[in-house]
Chain A
Amino acid sequence: MTAPTAPALVAKLDAASGVSTVLPADTTRVAVTAVGPIASIDRTKAHTVPAGAHDLAVSFTPAATPPRQDYVVHVGGRALTILVARASRKRRTSRARSRTRTSCRRTRRAS
């Protein structure tokens, strides 16, 4: 199994320009669990964010296969589920719909 193009943390470090920058990871810890043919890859990337408040985002490229790939992003006590459907594989564009829901997962508040 190869993971799809990995979600990355991006930040608008310069609010005036509005340009997003991919934050490099200081450390990456990869934990793999495999039970026969079922595998789970858990990758935790730690980032240092420059001082101050910055707009953060998670950026990723939906995989070509399977044609539909869903993602869940947990921030604080909320979970954002992103349902991704490819409008056209040829053009490599995608449409995304999202819905929010309350997460039971206990995470620290992000902001």
Chain B
Amino acid sequence: MPTDAAGVVTVPIGAVSARSVDLRVETTGLLPWREGAYELVVPRVPDGDVGLTAEVFGPGPIVVVSSPSHAIDAKPVSLEHLRVGLRDPQTLHDADFVLRYRVDPDDRPGALVVVGDGTSDVVGIVMHPVEDGHEPVAVSDVSIDWNGAAVTQVRPDPVGKLPAGTPLVVLARAQGDVRGPVTVRARCGREVRAITIDATTRSPRPTCVRWRYSGPAPVAATVVAHR
């Protein structure tokens, strides 16, 4: 694969005679939890006309949403779903877009997300960072009671420790229904907490969960040529 001295990889895709070509780049990842909120960073777009929409799903009621970088419009679709846009999308030319949102883990610690994936489902436990009086705390000895659900290929297994402010994301392949609730047990200091993750939620836009589980890569690029 041609790579220049600066480490730039170039992947040839052949001769194209189309006048219009789209390059679609999908990136997935886990967001950091900073000062009590998830923080998403969208790299700036240096040129051209720009549009941006963000669909944010708790899980759980979203209690705070803000951007330290841009003026935003946030419209609640429901308590757990916000649609966020830039007041002036062209400002994405100038700076990375930073979006912060908080879901109160005391209100809803997380959710079970199930995504169809061909012959079986991918099920994910998405649990917000554990807090004690609104302060994130580290947990250890994390174990999961799947409530009898037939799950395989659990990742990660075992979970082990979670530093303070780290969300728990456990993905598995499910054979049959996973109705929940599941119970996450974790040691916080001397105390062992049993955290109930409520009944299965079918996320409206779960692609990122499936992609994170079975996608070959956290980044995918798609080229579409229009004649």
- The answer to whether A29 and B51 touch (CB under 8 A), given A9-B223, A45-B23, is yes
Tell me the A51-76 residues at the B interface (CB within 8 Å). 51-62, 69-75
B16 touches A57 (CB 8 A): no
A71 touches B219 (CB 8 A): yes
Q: Mark B4-15, 1 if CB is under 8 A from A, else 0.
A: 011111111111
Closest to B201 in A: A35
- B7's partner among A3, A43, A94 (CB-CB below 8 A) is A94
- The answer to whether A57 and B11 touch (CB under 8 A), given A28-B48, A107-B222, is yes
- B15's partner among A2, A4, A95, A111 (CB-CB below 8 A) is A111
Tell me the A9-61 residues at the B interface (CB within 8 Å). 9-10, 20, 23-49, 51-61
Closest to A31 in B: B53
Residues of A within 8 Å of B126, CB to CB, are 35-38
- A36's partner among B14, B110, B207 (CB-CB below 8 A) is B110
- A40's partner among B14, B16, B96, B211 (CB-CB below 8 A) is B211
Q: Mark B34-64, 1 if CB is under 8 A from A, else 0.
A: 0000101111010111111111111100000
Shortest Cβ gap from A107 to chain B (Å): 6
- B57's partner among A36, A53, A56, A62 (CB-CB below 8 A) is A36
Q: How many A-B residue pairs have CB under 8 A?
A: 288
Residues of B within 8 Å of A30, CB to CB, are 42, 45, 50-53, 92
- The answer to whether A44 and B28 touch (CB under 8 A), given A33-B208, A95-B3, is no
B103 touches A36 (CB 8 A): yes
A109 touches B7 (CB 8 A): no
Closest to A64 in B: B7
Check: B79 CB closer than 8 A to any chain A CB. no
- The answer to whether A28 and B221 touch (CB under 8 A), given A40-B208, A73-B11, is no
Closest to B55 in A: A33
A43 to B226, CA, bound (A): 17
Majority-rule SS of B interface residues: strand
Task: For chain A, give the interface size range.
Answer: 35 or more
Shortest Cβ gap from A84 to chain B (Å): 7
Task: Output the residue of A23, A73, A84, A94 with the most chain B CB within 10 A.
Answer: A73
A35 to B56, CA, bound (A): 6
B40 touches A32 (CB 8 A): yes
Shortest Cβ gap from A102 to chain B (Å): 14
Residues of A within 8 Å of B103, CB to CB, are 36
- The answer to whether A38 and B212 touch (CB under 8 A), given A1-B29, A29-B51, A96-B9, is yes
Please give 18 more A-B residue pairs, beta carbons under 8 A apart, in addition to A56-B223, A110-B224. A1-B29, A4-B219, A10-B10, A27-B48, A31-B52, A33-B207, A34-B38, A35-B59, A35-B113, A35-B208, A36-B126, A38-B212, A40-B27, A48-B19, A61-B7, A71-B220, A94-B7, A110-B223
What 7 A-B pairs come out closest when comparing CB atoms? A96-B1, A40-B208, A70-B217, A32-B54, A1-B29, A37-B167, A53-B17
B→A interface (CB under 8 Å): 1, 3, 5-33, 38, 40-43, 45, 47-59, 84, 92, 96, 99, 101, 103, 110-111, 113, 124, 126, 128, 167, 169, 203, 205-209, 211-212, 216-226
